[in-house]
Structure formats: structure tokens, C-alpha cells
Structure 1
Amino acid sequence: MFMTFLSVALGGAIGASLRFGAGLWAARMISPSFPVAVMSVNVIGSFLMGAFAVWSIERGYSALNPFVMTGILGGFTTFSAFSLEVLTLIERGQILSALLYVALSVGLSIGALALGLWLMRGALA
């Protein structure tokens, strides 16, 4: 059990570092006035979660789930940061931006997870 905790911790460090790097990149490349980095990370992370969930179970690698799904992808996705960004937009009076951000983040993340499941199931069939 201790090794599982260590693998989650290592994965979390990797995922959080990747998220930080994605945030820096997005701030430089894309408009910093709309939280694109957090939204993009959530969509990408959701897609990868769906694909990895199917792959690991279908191929017998579910022992990697704590490291990858809880650690890397849990550290990479940012729904706590998402919540803060929504409230910040609301506090700034940017209600329409907040609503758009919520709708796009949730809708695209769920869609990306479904796409990841569907693609991996097809690839492994």
C-alpha cells in the first residue's frame, strides 16, 4: 500500500508540473483574459482519463491506474482552479464569460472523455 501512495505522489508531481507548464504556455500564446489554460487542461485530461481507463482495464494494466489516473491525471486536471476562475469572473462582473466558461469546460470535458472511451474501445476491438 505504501508503494501505491508513492506512485500517486510521483504521478501527482508529474501532472502538476505538466499543468503548470501548460498554464505558462497558454498565458504566452493565448489571451490571458479568458482562462483557456485551465479549460484546455481539463478537456485534455478528461480525454486521456477516458482513453487510459479503457486501455488499462482491457490490456490488464489496471495496476498503473493509481499512478496515471489518480496521480498524473489528477495532478494535471484542475477543477479546483476551474471553480476559482469561475468565481473570479463572476466577481469581476463578467457573468456571460463565467457562464460560457462553465458550459465549455464541462461540455467539452465530458465530450472528450466519451471520445477517449470510444476511440480506445474501437482501437482495442
Structure 2
Amino acid sequence: MAQPGLPRVLGVVALGGIIGSLARYGLAEASPHGPGEFPWSTFATNVVGCFAIGLLLARLTPRSHPLLRPFLGTGILGGFTTFSTFAVDTEKLLPEHVVVALVYFFGTVAAGLLAATLGEWAGRPR
């Protein structure tokens, strides 16, 4: 299968980014957090997104459609996960809620790595 041109790749990344960002926004609106509270919706978004990225990368093969990875991975999951909000949430928790900030920061990184590993493991062809 021929490689798609840059305009098509950018188009599917943009479309996927819109979908992923809207899903993240909906989750954040459905489960808001107040000042000093653990940002559960951002945490869940990033952990679920990491699992999905691991699963996706394990399942896609060189024979997969060449627009699948940019659409699903870079677009949808890139728009869905939000490590910029993770950084802002951590900064907002400091210095008044240091323990919550540290648990959130290190917990997100550890859970994201574990989720990506489990997703890759779950997606491996058997």
C-alpha cells in the first residue's frame, strides 16, 4: 500500500485530535475536581490513554492501513491524553497540598507506565 501524503496524514491527525480532545473534555466536565483535590478525571484519562496506546502499538502491523497509526495514536489518543494538564494540575496543588501533588505526580507516571505495559501485553498476538 502506498504511503499517504502529508496533507492526508495531517488531516487524519487533526480529525483524531478533535475526537480525542472532545472525549477528554467530556470526561473532565463529568468529573470535575476542586482546589486541593486529587484530579481523578485527568489521572483516569492519562492512564486509560496509556493503556490504549500500548494496545494500539501492539496490534498495528506493517500491513495495517498507513493512516491508522496517525489517526488513532497521534490523533485520538494524543488528543485524549493530557500531560500538559497533568503538569498544570501538579503545579496548582503545590505548595499548599504537597502530599496530594506528589502522590498525583508519581502515581500518574507509575500508573501510566504500567498501563502502557499492560496494554502492550494484552494486545500481543497469541
TM-score, length basis structure 2 = 0.89
Residue 27 of structure 2 aligns with which residue? 22
State the identity as a percent.
Answer: 35
- Pair 1:62–1:86, CA change in 2 (3 A): farther
Query: Which residue of 6, 12, 16 maps to 1:7?
Result: 12
After TM superposition, the structure 1 = structure 2 runs for residues 56-67 of structure 1, keeping only pairs within 5 Å, are: 56-57=60-61, 60-61=63-64, 63=66, 64-67=68-71
Residue 109 of structure 2 aligns with which residue? 106
- 1:35-79 per-residue CA deviation (whole Å, 9 max, x = no partner) reads 111110000000000000111127x22621000100000000000
- Pair 1:51–1:62, CA change in 2 (3 A): farther
* Amino acid across the alignment from 2:119: G
Name the SS for the 1:57 alignment partner: coil
Matches of 2:112 and 2:101 in 1, distance apart? 16
TM-score, length basis structure 1 = 0.89
Superposed CA RMSD: 1.3
* Amino acid across the alignment from 1:12: G
Structure with greater proportional helix content? 1
Long gaps (5+) in structure 1: none
Runs of 4+ deviating beyond 2 Å? none
Q: How many residues align?
A: 118
